[in-house]
Amino acid sequence: MQEKEELILILDFYGQYNQLIARRVRECNVYCELVRYDISADEIKRRGAKGVIFTGGPASVYADGAPKCDPKIFELGIPVLGICYGMQMMTQTLGGEVKRADKREYGETEVALESSVLFDGFGDKNVCLMSHTDFVGDLPDGFRTIARTPSCPNAAIENAEKKFYGIQFHPEVNNTVNGTAIIDNFVKKVCGCSGLWKMSAFAKETVKALREKIGDGKALCALSGGVDSSVAAALLNEAIGENLTCIFVDHGLLRKNEGDEVEEIFGKRFKSKFIRVDAEERFLSKLAGVEDPEKKRKIIGEEFINVFEEEAKKIGSVDYLVQGTIYPDVVESGKGNGATIKSHHNVGGLPDHVDFREIVEPLRDLFKDEVRAVGRELGIPDKLVDRQPFPGPGLAIRVIGEVTKDKLDMLRDADLIFREELERDGVNREANQYFAALTNVRSVGVMGDYRTYDYMIALRCVTTVDFMTATFTRVPYDTLERVSARIVNEVKHVNRVVYDITGKPPATIEYE
């Protein structure tokens, strides 16, 4: 089954959970793409979409400038599902009424359900995540109510004849019981998708698209040795083989022994060319005196590009730069009208001009676990696919404040101790990312009979599925005690260790 026959288009109205909708559709083994809300009905028809989903969004549909879809979408004869703002926008477009609620609904809410194909297999009640201040009042012609709460008389609506559905709650989040089942019912029972698409299809189609796009051109891959850039490199290796050159920039911001490990793995595995560039002194000189995290990210991003351009000139006539950007990077760096949380060196940290025809990001719409699945489909060993995530700016964003070689060496030693002890106790099997950070805090301590005034190390260990949200991992106290004792005894100029128990949100996983 080709993915074109399974295509669901998700129209993005800038809601915070939009990519999670795409994730849930893919979990139903149906291919989907997230596109701008203003895509034309003609384009949707040309692409052969079997259904359309309108996402949530922060706007009020009756406000000036509120984003609206092409109204001709409702004339295409294909199913439509509106979620939260998407439901309200559909209602208003088709002649219904949307108004301000007297009582807002936020959080998990019990919803009373009526018979509908969306709720096949459910009981008459379901706990759902509500997050809205507006609600649907009068329904458009042909619609009926299929779910309600005491505060929301139209928590879900349908026009079964035209296959138009709207739900005020968010089925894409884990807080909604049976949420994925609602989406599964829509894409399969309403849209008629077979559910045969798999991540192997993504890998196959992506390799094909890359081969067609690049042709006989040459590409340079920004290879960090992390999961994302490794999978991106593997896709390009399949697509263009010897026309790919992987550049590994050893910027001096790596974990202990990591540069040698990356060279050992990639210098021998890939058929494509592998070049290791020693750029430690260059990066550290650029970062000297810089404390602002956004400036650090942008300096690193720009210097990466400068190194790649220089290496490309040595190779001669390189058309494309390949990066392992994934969707959480895009979201945090600001997407569309979304807020910028922090600029990722491979997204918001890029300079305005780069000396390549185009930047290629084959993983841009995937979450971390989906990237790992693609890696397995491509035959990358589990040891590499399951490698700890490591940010492109490296330890520069785990050293709070100014970055120096001495601070990096302290952090490398502390980080290695933390990782060794978690792996020794098997905690790494339940954690998805764990590392040490060197804070910019110094405090008084005592070692023997002497007063010390040294740095504080913060330990971070989180459990997550998609890296969009995360909770701190419940590391056993005995493990933490041993880590702390080793760090203050083995790492010079550190006299205090703390464990971070903040989730995401409100924190991000990295410190800067």
Q: Is 169 helix (H, G, I), strand (E, B) or coil?
A: coil
Strand 320-322 versus strand 219-222 pairing type: parallel
Residue 192 clears pLDDT 70, i.e. is over it: yes
Q: Active site includes 5?
A: no
Output DSSP code: residue 399.
B
Tokens of 310: 């220089």
- 224-278: per-residue pLDDT in tens? 778 898 899 999 999 998 899 998 999 999 999 888 887 877 777 777 888 999 9
CATH code, domain carrying 454: 3.30.300.10
Burial 328-352 (b: 16+ CB within 10 A, else e): bbbbbbbbeebeeebbbbbbbbbee
Look up residue 432 and give its amino acid.
N
CB < 8 Å & 24+ apart, contacts of 260-265: 261/225, 262/223, 262/224, 262/225, 265/225, 265/384
Query: Per the domain annotation, does 342 fall within a domain?
Result: yes
171 shares its domain with 296: no
Region of residue 278 (left: phi > 0; alpha: psi -120 to 50; beta: else): beta
C-alpha to C-alpha distances, 88 to 39, 75, 153, 173, 309, nearest whole angstrom: 18, 18, 13, 19, 48
- pLDDT mean over 77-82: 97
Q: How confident is the model at residue 105 (pLDDT cuts 50, 70, 90)?
A: low
252 shares its domain with 112: no
205 shares its domain with 165: no
311 shares its domain with 457: no
179 shares its domain with 157: yes
- Cα–Cα distance for residue pair 247/304, rounded to 1 Å: 10
Query: Phi, psi at residue 213, to the nearest 5°?
Result: -70, -45
- pLDDT mean over 162-177: 90
- Cα–Cα distance for residue pair 333/349, rounded to 1 Å: 9
Do the Cβ atoms of 158 and 118 come closer than 8 Å? yes
Residue 353, CB-side half-sphere exposure with 13 Å CA sphere: 1
Q: Structurally, how many domains does the chain consist of? A: 3
**Which residues face 34 on adjacent strands?**
10
Query: Per the domain annotation, does 458 fall within a domain?
Result: yes
Do the Cβ atoms of 14 and 67 come closer than 8 Å? yes
Residue tagged active-site, from 6, 32, 132, 170: 170
Q: What is 81-98 written as a DSSP string?
A: EEETHHHHHHHHHTT--E
Tell me which residue of 21, 107, 59 sits closest to 338, measured CA to CA: 59
430 shares its domain with 489: yes
- Cα–Cα distance for residue pair 135/97, rounded to 1 Å: 9
End-of-domain residue from the set 144, 160, 190: 190
Sequence-distant (6+) residues with CB within 8 A of 235 are 203, 206, 207, 210, 362, 363, 374, 378
CATH code, domain carrying 38: 3.40.50.880
SS3 content of the chain, % helix, strand, coil (to 5): 35, 25, 40
End-of-domain residue from the set 157, 190, 223: 190
Residue tagged active-site, from 28, 32, 69, 84: 84
Query: Per the domain annotation, does 406 fall within a domain?
Result: yes
160 shares its domain with 179: yes
Q: Active site includes 353?
A: no
Query: Per the domain annotation, does 394 fall within a domain?
Result: no
Residue tagged active-site, from 6, 172, 303, 361: 172
End-of-domain residue from the set 338, 357, 385: 385
- Cα–Cα distance for residue pair 147/139, rounded to 1 Å: 13
Quote the Cα angle for 103-98-80, to 5°: 115
- Cα–Cα distance for residue pair 458/500, rounded to 1 Å: 7
Q: Which domain, by its residues, includes 215? A: 199-385
Res 18: pLDDT: 84
Q: Active site includes 251?
A: no
350 shares its domain with 210: yes
pTM: 0.66
CATH code, domain carrying 216: 3.40.50.620
Q: How confident is the model at residue 200 (pLDDT cuts 50, 70, 90)?
A: confident
113 shares its domain with 232: no
Q: Quick one: what percent of the chain has pLDDT higher than 90?
A: 53
Q: How confident is the model at residue 431 (pLDDT cuts 50, 70, 90)?
A: very high
